[in-house]
Chains A and B, each alone.
Chain A
Amino acid sequence: RKEVEQDPGPFNVPEGATVAFNCTYSNSASQSFFWYRQDCRKEPKLLMSVYSSGNEDGRFTAQLNRASQYISLLIRDSKLSDSATYLCVVKRYGGSQGNLIFGKGTKLSVKP
């Protein structure tokens, strides 16, 4: 079983739709949680960190459920420019700063 699991998609949605990404992690010692965005053949970029209380950044909302070891990302009013692969990323407790565990990513395609 992979340490970080995501639905591979692709998710094909129309502009303006709300889309939700889910992610589960298997290591209960995981400490920090992130969503990264990766455009085709480009580098990953940090979208947002995920906190236990949940956090929001504009149209993006991230949630963490430690008991269920589950992380989510909600995108409201999706734009064409949101088309990308969304990577769920976890850092283990005690691991070095960059010792990140990546999911395989969920591809999103927003259509006009």
Chain B
Amino acid sequence: EAGVTQFPSHSVIEKGQTVTLRCDPISGHDNLYWYRRVMGKEIKFLLHFVKESKQDESGMPNNRFLAERTGGTYSTLKVQPAELEDSGVYFCASSPQGGGNTIYFGEGSWLTVV
């Protein structure tokens, strides 16, 4: 069974441009999460979808970030316009409903803003 997949794995963009990251959760997982780790910092929670609904978006840093999960399957995280401090790795994770504590992470999308 495929794990959580993320695309692109690496991206280099200029300040002010837009980048869209995509996450495909494990099939059948209702819960989908986004996290990010910027240079020198710890991993931080961004938001949580249950199916297509945003359950918790308390970690979203500002309105330059937009996450969607239309249809409750894959999700996208768009950064527009990107700033230098957005550079880091963006992890997506998923878990089944009632699945206990195990959350399955993707390998991350590495973003560099220059």
Interface of chain B residues 26 through 56 with chain A (CB within 8 A): 31, 33, 35, 41-45, 48, 55-56
For the complex, is B74 an interface residue (Cβ under 8 Å from A)?
no
Indicate with 1 or 0, residue by residue over A84-106, a CB within 8 angstroms of chain B CB atoms: 00010000000111111111110
For the complex, is A45 an interface residue (Cβ under 8 Å from B)?
yes
Q: Are A99 and B91 in contact (CB under 8 A)?
A: no
Q: Are B42 and A100 in contact (CB under 8 A)?
A: no
Q: Are B42 and A95 in contact (CB under 8 A)?
A: no
In the complex, A43→B3 CA distance in Å?
A: 12
Interface of chain B residues 54 through 105 with chain A (CB within 8 A): 55-56, 58-59, 91, 93, 95, 101-103, 105
Q: Are B102 and A97 in contact (CB under 8 A)?
A: no
Residue of B nearest to A42 (CB): B107
> How many B residues touch A, CB cutoff 8 Å?
23
Most A Cβ at <10 Å: residue of B43, B48, B108: B43
CB-based A-B contact count at 8 angstroms? 51
CB distance from A58 to the nearest CB of B (A): 18
Cross-chain contact of A87 among B43, B93, B102 (Cβ < 8 A): B43
Q: Are B45 and A34 in contact (CB under 8 A)?
A: no
Q: Are B95 and A97 in contact (CB under 8 A)?
A: yes
Instruction: Identify the 10 closest CB pairs spanning chains A and B, nearest first.
Output: A43-B105, A98-B33, A96-B56, A102-B43, A104-B42, A102-B42, A96-B48, A98-B48, A43-B107, A99-B45
